[in-house]
Amino acid sequence: MPGVRGPSEYSQEPPRHPSLQINAKEPFNAEPPRSALNSSYITPVDLFYKRNHGPIPIVDDIERYRVSVCGLVENPKELSMAIIRKLPKYEVTATLQCAGNRRTAMSKTKTVKGVGWDVSAIGNATWGGAKLSDVLELVGIPKLTSVTSSGGKHVEFVSVDMCKEEKGGPYKASIPLNQATNPEADVLLAYEMNGEPLNRDHGYPLRGIVPGVIGARSVKWLDSINIIAEECQGFFMQKDYKMFPPTVDWDNINWSTRRPQMDFPVQSVICSFEDVDVVKQRKVSTILQ
């Protein structure tokens, strides 16, 4: 894509907040102290967790940047940011959580592979952008569509980001078409986060936001949006982020027996204290009268 380059080294990474707990340096994966999640309803951008699979892409010519919408559609298009910004803008406050959040605690029960997250690979932000349902109308897909006339049933987001898990190919993931075309689902092509333009760590200039679904489906640094017949066959849809019973381990796992993880179970964690904090018992005097 003109104007977009993916650096092969980590020499041009953006600056990060010094209080972030770094779980992996290259690629950079980090989370804030849990107290940061408690400090405000909206998580500040610099304290929002960082989840990456390679060097942060650089888009150095926004005027030439395009995201293509193609695949099983009758009217494929390449859309500039100017076109996307002309669509009605919506703001959606939504929480994103990495599917690997709390992996460190999980591994105390049974070994889990992947980045060792504590509890803070989660953040709540106000995202601004165009609804995906409006964007898809530009290529002839009406709202509340489950299948296109050409047989498309899923929407695949493809990133500029190249990652080792895809053997040097782009990161990608998909959601069902009926979710993408439903205005009430609030799926966005976001260009703002907390009222400011997306920064590089969080997907500049354009990313997907899929509320209520694991963060792995809210693809950053969008390159293309493909309408496909079957769900995405990428690594993070087919060989990771799936739920298995306790009888399955890394020696007998069969990835094809489970569907990709999408929504999250409800959970909770105490953020007002760190695991190392000690609460001293207070003596209470009772006066009997």
- Those residues whose C-beta lies under 8 Å from the C-beta of residue 175, and which sit 6 or more positions away, are 154, 155, 157, 187, 210, 213, 217, 262
pLDDT recorded at residue 279: 85
pLDDT recorded at residue 273: 87
pLDDT recorded at residue 3: 45
pLDDT recorded at residue 55: 94
List the chain pLDDT tens, one digit each, 289 residues. 444 544 458 999 999 999 999 999 999 999 999 999 999 999 999 999 999 999 999 999 999 999 999 999 999 999 999 999 999 999 999 999 999 999 999 888 888 889 999 999 999 999 999 999 999 999 999 999 999 999 999 999 999 999 989 988 999 999 999 999 999 999 999 999 999 999 999 999 999 999 999 999 999 999 999 999 999 999 999 999 999 998 998 899 999 999 999 998 888 999 998 888 888 887 766 555 5
| DSSP code per residue over 68-100 | EEEES-SS-EEEEHHHHHHSPEEEEEEEEE-TT
Domain at 4-257, CATH homologous superfamily: Oxidoreductase, molybdopterin-binding domain (3.90.420.10)
Which residue ranges make up each domain of the chain?
A: 4-257
pLDDT recorded at residue 289: 54
> Which residue from 192, 97, 204 is spatially nearest to 160, judged by alpha carbons?
204
Report cis status (omega within 30 of 0) of the bond before 205. Answer: yes
